[in-house]
Chain A
């Protein structure tokens, strides 16, 4: 009896020591969680989640202060990835934060623009060029489609235009897979 106990204790100690050693020796210096979450977020910087930008939202998720379903531009796929990463349950996009829309870019109606620079200040990624009393324009390639420039515009000259598919961005569709067939 005593021998058995000793043997079991010995094994337990040995394995424990092994595990402890492994945890120190093979410690994974991975990305901190916030970076991983931030990498999934679309970087639209639109603030629809209720936080001033993607990174703050990532911080909030990591800190358990925010749900994972508050990012409309990331859409369902984004939520799934977050759910996977964090081992949380998938949730549909929360309606109070907005709806998933097709990817768009802002376009300034240059004839109406009065050059007030308000949109330039609102743009989180500096994708609008212009100067006071000069016409402004949007660098389409850098626009994230966050819509933050719409509200401040005093003359409502900014519209969102969905990005059109071109031959260069066209994608092959998922092959239709016959799973079920009327028998």
Chain B
């Protein structure tokens, strides 16, 4: 059956560089000495730590619990001892730290007790909660919590479930190898998702430069015999693997920015996510490893099944990094992010560790002025006019950038790729976006502050008024009383004497308290020790130590996420 495919505007055809890493099967990685598992690994979530230094953990044990709905749990990738729970450098361009659990593996790789679920008996809500606690997130790179995407639209069912096996970024082959080797399990995961979403059709989109993967998936479909699932070869053109672009190619539907694809009867998942969902539902195994491509400046590019938290250089060593390596890039050459260090951990978003060198990825030639040639607009898969947004971004005219639909930009890098003036267009758009977000945050904060300030003023006014009324009432009562008695002393004089007196008393009280505090600060040695037993004294010492520690922790510039 021939299905009509659609085209998306623009796109580019960079050299794919995929052949080298697909010659050998997916390999496993020996346990490293140390796993650093960041708790923040999905969009939105900052899970709270569930373990403490010194705890014994088992493989698959939950170490970070989802904080709210837009979050996903995190698990120990192997068995061992928790050595630390501390902010560690995360695999992000900024080089900032995030709260991470450091596990020293015990080498036994023992599974803990696994949470199982009866897929057929469970309600969709139970399944979603289960997947959240199994830490399943989108493995295509966006790491959006999958359980949130497994809700059908308003009508309770879906027309098309799109499975993304396009993998359009050069160098990356992890999805390709996964489809070749694990197509049957992946298909079971797809079946489960289809059930949860009540999807009529399933379309698996695979770029036509991966004939082996396509054949493997088609064979698995034939073997499974489930109707309504189809694997399609789509033309190789970057970024065909962008969710919006793939949905467009397979269904002709364009999902606008800010709208849910389910509103249009479509939902899109990565093939790796489908496999993880199967692993979680069928075997009860949470997401603790993923397939990672190691490619670029290495002797033997290959795919590895890597435990989450493994230091990147530990994996790269297996592939043989060449001596002129100057950086690691997480992801591909079009959208990948430069890593701040070589030993940052592999996380759920790591589809590829691209090893870079000045020869492989030379610095761009000098930036020239824009000549408005329009190449970027021709290449833009979102039909934007990047050169217009560039002018406004450069001038920091953020309002105008939004008029030209800055937020529809998917940062695919096509515009920078084709620009004859070598302008880092995407960098300008990233800059503009983060400035706009920062401004929105600032504005929100200012609005809150204004509101609270005005409310406080209002409250103070009201209190003053109420006080005045009370005083007036009291004064009236006194006057009546005084008028009833024989009035001798002038009331004004009495007030003049008593009021400052009252203030003085207050001041004295405060001064006493200050003195006490100063004493407290100066000598922490507790008093009346002679009457306490040694046991109580020890307890007090412990409390004091804890208080001390708390005081120090509060001056720590990196407060743990749980407190912040």
Contact = CB atoms under 8 A, between A and B. Distances in A.
Interface of A: 38, 41-45, 53-55, 107, 109-112, 114, 116, 118, 123-127, 140, 142, 144, 154-155, 157, 159, 161, 164-167, 169-175, 177-178, 181
A165 B424 contact: no
B458 to A, nearest CB: 11
Given A154-B510, A174-B431, 13 more contacts: A54-B450, A107-B554, A110-B550, A112-B521, A125-B449, A126-B456, A154-B514, A155-B518, A159-B555, A170-B434, A171-B431, A171-B438, A175-B424
Nearest to B521: A112
Contacts of A170: 92, 94, 96, 434
A59 B518 CA distance: 43
B460 to A, nearest CB: 9
Interface stretch (B25-33, B299-307, B440-448, B479-487): B440-448
A181 B437 CA distance: 33
Given A42-B446, A175-B428, A178-B367, A109 B455 contact: no
A43 B453 contact: yes
A170 B450 CA distance: 25
Nearest to B557: A164
A122 to B, nearest CB: 11
B447 A167 contact: no
Contact of A112 (B433, B446, B517): B517
Contacts of B445: 43, 144
A173 B438 CA distance: 12
B433 A142 contact: no
Given A126-B456, A154-B513, A172 B431 contact: yes
A38 B451 CA distance: 12
A25 to B, nearest CB: 27
A164 B453 contact: no
Nearest to B90: A167
Nearest to A139: B452
Contacts of A110: 550-551, 554
A164 B558 contact: yes
A177 B456 contact: no
A171 B517 CA distance: 42
B453 A125 contact: yes
Contacts of B434: 170-172
Nearest to B441: A169
Q: Which of B454, B518, B554, B555 has the most CB of A within 10 A?
A: B554
23 contacts: A42-B442, A42-B446, A43-B449, A54-B450, A111-B551, A112-B521, A116-B510, A126-B455, A144-B449, A154-B514, A155-B518, A155-B521, A161-B557, A165-B96, A170-B96, A171-B435, A171-B437, A172-B427, A172-B433, A174-B431, A175-B427, A177-B367, A181-B366
B118 interface: no
B431 A167 contact: no
Contacts of B547: 111
Given A116-B510, A125-B456, A178 B366 contact: yes
